[in-house]
Structure 1
Amino acid sequence: MDENEFIIEFIAMGNSVKVTCIDLKSGREVSTIGPANLSKDQLSKAAINKMHYVLKKEQS
């Protein structure tokens, strides 16, 4: 389904988690911050969705 590959990094900061997503193909990096009580899957999904948004915006 998704041909992009990403590296996902989680950094806990108190009650929040900074999630960094790096697209291996383009080298583009985006970050998002979410509450620490969300699962890593939910946080990853938010960062990947942001990455797709940024990549699509750059293509137009």
Structure 2
Amino acid sequence: MSGGDNGDVIVEFVQVGNAVKVSAIDAKTGREVSIVGSPRASREELTRVAVNKLKYVMSRD
């Protein structure tokens, strides 16, 4: 998946009980962020939130 200016982003989904943990990892730097969301939310929405969080964290540095 492309993360825009940040390059490639790896997105991983893990079911944890009644929630889904979504990790977004910048392939170039290895920076990783995670969110926890509802399993009823679409993968597209969860991916968007995780990638936006990654972009935010990367922009702070």
TM-score by length of 1: 0.89
Count of residue pairs the alignment pairs up: 58
Could you tell me which residue of structure 2 aligns to residue 14 of structure 1?
17
Residue 33 of structure 1: how far off its partner (Å): 0.4
Letter in 2 for 1:48: V
| CA RMSD, Structure 1 to Structure 2 (Å) | 1.4
Distance in 1 (CA, whole Å) between partners of 2:4 and 2:16 is 30
Query: Within 5 A, what are the aligned runs for 1:1-60?
Result: 2-3=4-5, 4-58=7-61
Percent identity between the aligned chains? 41
Residue 22 of structure 1 aligns to a residue in which SS? Answer: strand
TM-score by length of 2: 0.87
Residue 38 of structure 1 aligns to a residue in which SS? Answer: coil
Distance in 2 (CA, whole Å) between partners of 1:54 and 1:42 is 19
Residue 27 of structure 1 aligns to a residue in which SS? Answer: coil
Residue 44 of structure 1 aligns to a residue in which SS? Answer: helix
Letter in 2 for 1:44: T
Structure 1: which 4+ aligned runs deviate by more than 2 Å?
Answer: none
